Amino acid sequence: MRKTEITVIIAEDEPIILNNIAKKVENTDPRIQVIGKAQNGRETLALLNGQVPDLLITDIEMPGMNGLELIREVRRLYPQVHILILSGYSNFEYARTAIKYGVDDYLLKPISQSDLSAILTKMTETILSERRQLERNILSKTLHGDSPEILSPSSFPDENFLMVLVHLGNLPSRYAALIHPANLRDLWEQIDFNTFFSAHAEVDHTWIIDEANLYQKFIILHITDREIRPALMAMQLNNFVLESGITLPYHILFHTVTIGYPQIWETARDMRTALPQYVSMYAQNYSLYPEGPKCPLPDHQQKRDHINFLYQLQNDTSYLQYVTTTLDSYAEAGYPQSITDDFIREAYHALPVVFKVDDKSALAAMSDTLSHLNTCETREQMNQQLRISIENMLQTQSTASGSEHLYHQLKHYIEVNYNQKISLDDLSDRYGYTPSYINRLFKKECGLSPLQYQTSLRIAKAKELLSTQADIDIKTIASTIGYDDSRYFSRVFKNEVGTTPSEWVRDRN
């Protein structure tokens, strides 16, 4: 059996009073057991050396080693022991000194049953609370592969443990970071596991242990009846969670074989590893482990065919339709979530090949979509998120392609007509975009505005004419490249080059 009693050693030098106190202690609560009685401090230390109690009740004035000396030694050797001192009115100052040594409480003699019961009831709850916390810490360390240096004595001697792994939401994707919603703690608190298990008489204690994955908790049960029916309890627990009103998908993996403390770590490891084989998308369900049925798996070739077909779809509408239809079929078949996870990943990986989407953009969009996978409550939510994500990518790609095409059209038109009068309004009328958009787009791609680019072409042509035709005059050059006023041309040339046309020719010669 797991330890449930509060053990007590009493130190009092008067035998009649000692026995009377022991009787009153055991009358207080059936969980309290007197395991030793001593008449002085040295006898008490000898008893503690054989069995350390939860509580020491000691008088202050005793022959040999008195109560204060005893308390100092107990605090040094056994700091976990709680201490209650008994004091007469004449030595109340001793009691105050003892309290400084860290005793929990004191009682004045003569001791009444009611006063003793009140203090022991309070101390019992404190001791049991500390014990539960210690046991929880031990179990938590064990679950995570740490061997506690100190085990609670005799707390876990039997093989009466059952383990339950509860996961809220779909499983996290293997291909994206996990996002925790702000209300995750509230979602867990919505399910009162302690209330459920306390209603089962065969469960005498429940520990709820957090996992590194905040969507996941282990519940460890200590049972008193080895004839417990785990399958029935698992079904009842599932119904209880459903009735809590939780809307997220969840899965309960209920270990049906009772185990001992040494098997807890290995069992927890096996259950974590096995969980993905039992979880299908969007389901609120439970499974029995290890004998319960796992999710069915698709034929390997069928899975490959689904992925290969993605690369044959050239139309964005048919692509999206195929992706969502395939995911629907996976959900209806009850395939494990890993199949859905893999297919969504492949759907994004195919985008750069099929639609020339930027690789980094596709990877970022995939990560964003899959990071929300565990909180999707229905396949309609998942499909909607996928559709929006992929449509946005294709729209961005289409816009980028259209912008690049427009830039090349503008550039070609200016190069052909560099010596003609061109304005942003002219370009706007010709290509159907606003002047500001044309100006912004062209400058982004070229580094120059359309009119600056036209000027650069004109100056380049002027330099060519000045270099190849020594007798040509400035007026002819200006007219050839599109300027009606030769003086204006000279000013533009100087502004662009730094010298007048004549100075430029002279400097070259």
What is the CATH number for 199? 3.30.70.270
The CATH number of the domain where 488 resides is what? 1.10.10.60
- Quick check: helix, strand or coil at residue 232? helix
- Quote the number of domains for the chain: 4
CA dist., res. 447 & res. 445, Å (int) = 6
Q: Beta strand pairing status for 161-168 and 250-255? A: antiparallel
Taking each helix axis as running N to C, give the angle between helix 435-446 and helix 424-431, from 0 to 180 degrees, rounded to the nearest 10: 100
The domain boundary, picked from 105, 128, 151, lies at 128
Tokens of residue 26, six digits: 């055991």
Residues 186 and 264 in one domain: yes
384 within domain boundaries: yes
304 and 187 together in one domain: no
Last residue of a domain, one of 399, 426, 457: 399
Same domain, 64 and 108: yes
Is there a domain that residue 393 lies in? Answer: yes
Distance CA 465, CA 477 (A): 7
In a domain, 147, yes or no: no
pLDDT tens track of the chain, all 509 residues?
Answer: 345 589 999 999 999 999 999 999 999 999 999 999 999 999 999 999 989 999 999 998 888 888 889 999 999 999 999 999 988 766 667 767 777 788 898 888 889 999 999 999 999 999 999 988 888 888 888 888 776 655 544 456 678 899 999 999 999 999 998 888 888 999 999 999 999 999 998 998 899 999 989 999 999 999 987 778 999 999 999 999 999 999 999 999 999 999 998 899 999 999 999 999 999 999 999 999 999 999 999 998 999 999 999 988 878 889 999 999 999 999 999 999 999 999 999 999 999 888 888 889 999 999 999 999 999 999 999 999 999 999 888 887 766 666 777 888 899 999 999 999 999 999 998 888 889 989 998 999 899 999 999 999 999 999 999 998 878 899 999 999 999 999 999 999 999 999 999 999 888 87
Residue 257 Rama label (left phi>0; alpha psi -120 to 50; beta): beta
First to last CA, the chain: 109
The domain of 188 spans 161-289
Residue 156 lies in a domain: no
pTM of the model: 0.69
Copy the structure tokens of residue 299: 């034929």
Let me know if residue 136 belongs to a domain.
no
Ramachandran category for residue 293: left, alpha or beta (phi over 0 → left; psi -120 to 50 → alpha): beta
- Domain contains 241: yes
Is residue 202 domain-resident?
A: yes
| Residues 359 and 445 grouped into a single domain | no
Six token digits for residue 234: 């698992």
- Give the CATH number of the domain where residue 29 resides: 3.40.50.2300
- Omega before residue 249 within 30° of 0, cis: no
Flag whether 138 is in a domain.
Answer: no
> Is residue 117 located within the same domain as residue 205?
no
User: Are residues 72 and 95 located together in one domain of the fold?
Assistant: yes
Are 306 and 279 members of one domain? no
Tell which of 399, 427, 459 closes a domain.
Answer: 399
Q: What is the C-alpha to C-alpha distance for residues 118 and 121, in angstroms, rounded to an integer?
A: 5
Q: Looking at the structure, tell me whether residues 117 and 14 fall in a common domain.
A: yes
**Full strand arrangement of the beta sheet holding 82-87:** 32-38, 6-11, 55-59, 82-87, 105-108
Shared domain check, 165 and 121: no
β-strand partners of 254: 164, 288
Indicate if 309 and 237 belong to the same structural domain: no
Same domain flag for 45 and 13: yes
CA distance 257 to 283: 25
Exposure letters 88-109 (e unless 16+ CB within 10 A, then b) = eeebeebbebbeeeebbebbee
In a shared domain, residues 167 and 257: yes
